[in-house]
Chains A and B, each alone.
Chain A
Amino acid sequence: MKKRIMAAALVSLCGVLGLSFATPSLAQKKDETIAGIEKYREMLGDDNPAELYEMRGEAAWKKPAGPNNVSLEKCDLGLGAGIVKGAYAQTPRYFEDAGRVMDIESRIAWCMMTVQGISEADMRKRPFGSADKPSLMEDLVTYVVTASKGFKIAPPNTHPQEKAAFELGQSIFHVRAGPYDFSCATCHGQDGKRIRLQELPNLTKAADNQRAYIGWPAYRVSTSQVHSMQWRINDCFRQQRLPEPKYMSESVNALITYMAVMATGAEYKGPALKR
């Protein structure tokens, strides 16, 4: 219902813009459509309900929980125990204690298990929530990533395992599979493509990775909730018609590593507002 209203608003916005030009060339028309979408984003832009997740996430971060009844404040997100500010911008990274490359969600989950004593089964129960019942992870991750607003994206990419994760992610990006023989690159390997009104970033290029990466996780108006990067990849596996990937699996983390490294140098903007 709400989805339909949003779509109608978009169509009417573009309609008005289209009409104001007598005989637009195809290229002009396309630019106008994109400008219309951007105007719409700008109107939605300023106040982002992701802030509600951030507030809940901060409270959850600081509240003692789990069998050990301690908060996550001792969690080491890569910059030292207890440091949240700027930590997300330097992930994914190799963590000595875990012996593998972790994205931010994997690391938060690691802390829930090692610091709070929560079992892996419990931690994995409900990574992706709904508008009516956001998941604890969505709250926590929104809090943690928002603390990197204004920081430059800078995953280290120096440890051999970090480099291996980048390589793996890059190769998975190009592997064609599934009933339609799609790879990520089928949809995200060319400039200026769209599916309906959704622009498809060309994720083989640094500039497009930067634009995409600085707005994830994101609040989606059509689903009224924050979605994490793990969810984004999970949903693109679905669009690729692949079996659902395991949450925080090596391949999903590798894809996130690939995109983060490609986005290096961009300033993180915090959760964006998406259609």
Chain B
Amino acid sequence: MADPMKIRAQIKGDVAEIRVLMSHPMETGQRKDSDGKIIPAHYIQTVTVALNGKNVVSGQTGGSVSRNPVFGFKVKGAKAGDKVAVTWKDNKGDSRTDEASIA
């Protein structure tokens, strides 16, 4: 099981600023280890954000994104106390969802 994400969600007017820090190796599949063997690709492919259970962001990512990536989103029409759920899925079928309340 992957490590938890760190989610910050703050309201500014009627826009929620959401920032997510994810723990993931994001291997490109192009690097070699010290024995010269290719390190298999392992990266997040989809990221979704739900606000009170309703999908508001869905995106695709690839191997060019750095290890332990940070993503930022702005969501309109949110209010303090709303529940934000962020989910990622990677190319090995692993996934993780974490939640936070908008402050």
Chain B min CB distance to A135 (Å): 15
Q: What residues of chain A have their CB less than 8 Å away from a CB belonging to chain B?
A: 1-2, 46-47, 49, 51-52, 55-56, 131-132, 221, 224
Decide if the interface of chain A is mainly helix, strand, loop or mixed.
loop
Q: Which residues of B contact A52 (CB under 8 A)?
A: 3, 6, 21, 23, 68
| Complex CA distance for A221 and B4, rounded to whole angstroms | 20
Chain A min CB distance to B90 (Å): 15
Given the known A-B contacts A49-B21, A132-B25, A224-B66, are A1 and B30 also in contact in the complex, defined by CB atoms under 8 Å?
yes
**Size range of the interface on B?**
10 to 19
| Complex CA distance for A55 and B66, rounded to whole angstroms | 20
Q: Which residues of B contact A56 (CB under 8 A)?
A: 3
Chain A min CB distance to B52 (Å): 24
Q: Does B28 contact A (CB under 8 A)?
A: yes
| Complex CA distance for A131 and B23, rounded to whole angstroms | 11
Q: Which residues of A contact B66 (CB under 8 A)?
A: 2, 221, 224
Given the known A-B contacts A1-B28, A56-B3, are A47 and B19 also in contact in the complex, defined by CB atoms under 8 Å?
yes
Q: Which residues of B contact A49 (CB under 8 A)?
A: 21, 23, 67-68, 70
| Complex CA distance for A49 and B6, rounded to whole angstroms | 9
In the complex formed, the residue of B with least CB distance to A56 is B3
| Complex CA distance for A46 and B21, rounded to whole angstroms | 11
Q: Which residues of A contact B12 (CB under 8 A)?
A: none
> Lowest 5 CB-CB distances: which A-B pairs, in order?
A49-B68, A47-B70, A224-B67, A52-B23, A51-B6
Chain B min CB distance to A38 (Å): 20
A-B contact pairs, 27 of them (CB 8 A): A1-B28, A1-B30, A1-B31, A2-B66, A2-B67, A46-B19, A46-B70, A47-B19, A47-B70, A49-B21, A49-B67, A49-B68, A49-B70, A51-B21, A52-B3, A52-B6, A52-B23, A52-B68, A55-B3, A55-B4, A55-B6, A56-B3, A131-B25, A131-B67, A132-B25, A221-B66, A224-B68
Chain A min CB distance to B1 (Å): 13
| Complex CA distance for A2 and B25, rounded to whole angstroms | 12
